[in-house]
């Protein structure tokens, strides 16, 4: 099964790409990701495509610290309901235990562990390389950079780790690493980790709110309770994102949801739904809105709805609405020009 990660992992990608001289939309498409994922933080997307995107972005821009730059503005809120629940835990230790419990919901390719020896604590982060064995440098630096940012939000912005260690070799310029991670950064280490003190783990969170914990826990349980209605929502949301790319197939949607096509088809059938009917409903909704909008050509509308050619869209529209798209647009424009009641 494909490992998935919340699209929120790409928070700040657009800004860092532009600052690095890249076309963010083109880079996403080249990595086989819809640009719409940047606006859907809760969408689950394939980890390997994220890794491909980050590696290509670092290579083409010459910014060896691309992933780390993305971590600069990361906040607990980027973790969704998990971040809400972490924010109000009694200590950093409790917050990290919670993160470990729900890590699979955030990133299926990342494993966290906490090792304590005397007064020393090692927070290890293990990232699976994936079947393509692509370089993980950018993903690792993003993950550890995000962890440092989250810890600072929990116990104080001036907090500094004792050490931050990476398996990979050092970049030519360590400026970003020193700025974000502090002065004690090591490379060519045996594993990726953040080293802190036991006192850091046990530092009390004076702003912890038990009432918010109960609320966030209920929200989290609702989000991660398996159900067919949730599945249908996920399928629809994924279809919206994939339609404009022309890649909205059963196979692609299944891949985004971490399922095999046969399983997705069976679960839809159990709910009296079919993939083609869901996609047709979404196309009808989108067509009604876009055809009435004269700022888009009908060719653009056809592309937004995932049709390979305008003629295919025209035939489908006539079949669905009983009139041509051109006639519908003319009627909509005439209605807009028609004066209202005096």
Q: Are 253 and 233 in contact (CB under 8 A)?
A: no
Judge whether 46 and 109 are in contact, CB under 8 Å.
no
Say if 314 falls within a structural domain. Answer: yes
The neighbouring-strand residues paired with 25 are: none
The burial of 236, by beta-carbon neighbours within 10 Å (0-12 exposed, 13-18 middle, 19 or more buried), is given as middle
Please tell me the pTM assigned to this model: 0.73
Q: In 3D, which of 64, 10, 17, 13 has the Cα closest to residue 187? A: 64
44 falls within a domain: no
Can you say how many angstroms the Cα of residue 173 is from the centroid of all Cα atoms in its chain?
28
pLDDT tens sequence across 224-246:
654 444 688 788 878 877 887 77
165 and 298 fall within a common domain:
no
**pLDDT for the residue numbered 228:** 44
List C-alpha distances in Å: 94 to 30, 111, 199. Answer: 40, 17, 13
Last residue of a domain, one of 163, 193, 223: 223
Q: 232, 118 in Cβ contact below 8 A?
A: no
The candidate with the shortest Cα–Cα distance to 8, out of 89, 103, 84, 80, is: 80
Q: Are residues 134 and 233 in the same domain?
A: no
Interatomic CA distance for residues 224 and 183, integer angstroms: 39
From 223, 248, 278, the end of a domain falls on 223
Verify that 178 and 240 share a domain, yes or no: no
- CA separation, residue 71 to residues 146, 179, 193 (Å): 5, 12, 16
In a domain, 19, yes or no: no
Q: Are residues 81 and 159 in the same domain?
A: yes
* Domain CATH number, residue 272: 1.10.10.60
Length of the chain measured in residues? 342
Contact 72, 12 (CB under 8 A): yes
SS3 52: helix
Distance CA 142, CA 124 (A): 14
- Whether 182 is in a domain gets the answer yes
Query: Is-contact 253 239, C-beta < 8 A?
Result: yes
* Assigned domain for 29 exists: no
Residues 324, 269 share a domain: yes
Residues 150 and 241 occupy one common structural domain: no
Per-residue model confidence (pLDDT) at position 132: 53
| Assigned domain for 263 exists | yes
The domain boundary residue, chosen from 223, 258, 278: 223
Q: How is residue 36 annotated by DSSP?
A: G
Are 184 and 264 in the same domain? no
Is the domain of 290 the same as that of 238? yes
Q: Would you write out the chain's pLDDT as a tens digit for each of its 342 residues?
A: 568 899 999 999 999 999 999 999 999 999 999 898 999 898 889 999 999 999 999 999 999 999 999 999 999 999 988 998 899 999 999 999 999 988 878 898 888 889 999 999 999 998 876 555 567 899 999 999 999 999 999 999 999 999 999 999 999 999 999 999 999 999 999 889 999 999 999 998 888 888 888 777 777 776 665 444 468 878 887 887 788 777 789 998 888 777 889 999 999 999 899 999 999 999 998 898 889 878 779 998 998 898 989 999 999 999 999 999 999 999 988 887 776 554
Query: Is 206 found in the same domain as 259?
Result: no
Expressed as residue numbers, the domain containing 168 is: 65-223
Strand order in the sheet with 185-186: 110-117, 120-127, 193-197, 163-165, 185-186
193 in a domain, yes or no?
yes
Location of structure tokens 């990133």: 107
Cβ 117 vs Cβ 43: under 8 Å? no
In a domain, 33, yes or no: no
50 phi and psi angles, rounded to 5 deg:
-65, -45
CB 242 within 8 A of CB 303: no
| Under 8 Å between Cβ of 338 and 319 | no
Domain identity same for 273 and 305: yes
Q: In this structure, are 232 and 110 located in the same domain? A: no
Number of domains, the chain: 2
- Please check whether residues 219 and 266 belong to one and the same domain: no
End-to-end CA distance of the chain: 63
């Amino acid at each position: 099964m494909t490992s998935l990660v919340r699209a929120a992992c790409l928070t700040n990608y657009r800004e860092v790409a532009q600052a690095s001289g890249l076309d963010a939309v083109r880079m996403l498409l080249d990595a086989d990701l819809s640009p719409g994922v940047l606006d859907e933080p809760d969408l689950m997307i394939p980890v390997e495509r994220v890794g491909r995107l980050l590696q290509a972005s670092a290579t083409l821009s010459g910014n060896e610290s691309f992933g780390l730059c993305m971590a600069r503005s990361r906040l607990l809120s980027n973790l969704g309901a998990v971040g809400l629940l972490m924010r109000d835990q009694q200590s950093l230790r409790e917050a990290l235990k919670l993160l470990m419990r729900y890590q699979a919901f955030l990133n299926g390719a990342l494993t966290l562990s906490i090792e304590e020896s005397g007064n020393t604590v090692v927070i290890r982060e293990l990232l699976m390389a994936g079947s393509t064995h692509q370089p993980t440098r950018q993903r690792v630096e993003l993950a550890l950079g995000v962890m440092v940012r989250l810890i600072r939000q929990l116990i104080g912005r001036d907090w500094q780790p004792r050490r931050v260690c990476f398996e990979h070799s050092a970049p030519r310029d360590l400026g970003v690493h020193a700025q974000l991670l502090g002065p004690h950064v090591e490379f060519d280490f045996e594993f990726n980790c953040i080293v802190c003190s036991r006192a850091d783990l046990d530092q009390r969170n004076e702003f912890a709110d038990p009432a918010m914990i109960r609320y966030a826990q209920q929200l989290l349980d609702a989000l991660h309770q398996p159900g067919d209605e949730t599945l249908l929502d996920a399928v629809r949301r994924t279809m919206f994102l994939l339609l404009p790319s022309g890649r909205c197939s059963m196979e692609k949607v299944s891949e985004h949801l971490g399922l095999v096509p046969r399983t997705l088809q069976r679960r839809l059938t159990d709910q009296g739904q079919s993939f083609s009917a869901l996609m047709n409903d979404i196309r009808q909704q989108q067509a009604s809105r876009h055809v009435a909008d004269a700022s888009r050509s009908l060719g653009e509308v056809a592309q937004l709805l995932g049709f390979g050619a305008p003629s295919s869209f025209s035939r489908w529209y006539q079949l669905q609405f009983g009139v041509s798209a051109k006639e519908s647009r003319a009627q909509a424009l005439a209605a807009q020009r028609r004066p209202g009641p005096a």
